[in-house]
């Protein structure tokens, strides 16, 4: 493998990763990013579901001995937790907190997996957010189509450049100028 083939393979792998990440963010939104950050931390971080005035939101918190530190509305918050307050969600630790009273976690009752006003169908599967999103208006659809066309144009341009460079190598090795 020469240098251009290595560049082509690495470039296509990076482009595939980037397209997958953009697609995941379009479907899952902030919740999927927070989930990945907690999953990649390997136990050093906790997923927090905070009860706000506008519904439940997800946050990422750094786990310490008996507390978690996280940010809400630009303020650093420390929430004290016990082992009873920590639940499991898709193989990661999670804590329920009232964002207006963040000093302590919401304690769940015996055999309860989540608070009564928490809707698990929304958070149970990251892809369910695509179904529960509000319908898009015509301007939003046009913006997404233009963004998709721009990505497609960049991919086609990259393909043309790579093909042109390969043809240049072939003609150079054949002795044709």
Q: Write down the pLDDT at residue 62.
A: 92
Using one digit for the tens of pLDDT, what is the confidence trace for 120-169?
A: 666 555 445 555 566 667 777 888 889 999 999 999 999 888 888 888 77
Q: How many CB atoms lie within 10 A of CB 27?
A: 15
Query: How far is the C-alpha of 47 from the C-alpha of 38, rounded, in Å?
Result: 6
As a residue count, the chain comes to 177
Q: Write down the pLDDT at residue 156.
A: 92
Q: Which domain holds residue 38?
A: 27-132
pTM for this structure? 0.56
**String of DSSP letters for 19-67:** HHHHHHHHHHTHHHHHHHHHHHTTTSEEEEEEEETTEEEEEEEEE-SSE
DSSP one-letter code for 105: B
Is 22 a member of any domain?
no
Query: HSE of 92 in the Cβ direction (CA atoms, 13 Å)?
Result: 24
Q: Are residues 116 and 141 in the same domain?
A: no
Closest CA to 98 of 41, 62, 166, 52: 52
Single residue among 112, 132, 152 that ends a domain in this structure: 132
Q: Are residues 148 and 116 in the same domain?
A: no
Q: Write down the pLDDT at residue 127.
A: 46
Most confident of the ranges 4-13, 98-107, 167-176: 4-13
E runs forming strands in the chain: 45-52, 55-63, 67-72, 75-80, 87-89, 92-98
Q: Are residues 79 and 160 in the same domain?
A: no
Q: Are residues 74 and 142 in the same domain?
A: no
């Amino acid at each position: 493998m020469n240098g251009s083939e290595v560049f082509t393979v690495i470039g296509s792998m990076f482009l595939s990763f980037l397209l997958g990440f953009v697609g995941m963010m379009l479907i899952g939104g902030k919740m999927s990013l927070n989930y990945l950050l907690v999953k990649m931390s390997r136990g050093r971080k906790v997923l927090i579901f905070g009860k706000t005035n506008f519904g439940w939101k997800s946050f990422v918190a750094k786990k310490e001995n008996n507390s978690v530190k996280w940010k809400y509305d630009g303020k650093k918050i420390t929430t004290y937790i016990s082992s009873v307050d920590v639940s499991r969600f898709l193989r990661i630790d999670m804590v329920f907190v009232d964002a207006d009273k963040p000093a302590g976690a919401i304690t769940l009752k015996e055999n309860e997996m989540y608070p009564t006003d928490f809707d698990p169908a929304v958070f149970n599967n990251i892809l369910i957010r695509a179904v529960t999103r509000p319908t898009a208006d015509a301007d939003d659809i046009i913006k997404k189509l233009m963004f998709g066309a721009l990505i497609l144009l960049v991919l086609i341009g990259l393909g043309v450049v790579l093909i042109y460079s390969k043809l240049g190598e072939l003609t150079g090795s054949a002795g044709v100028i």
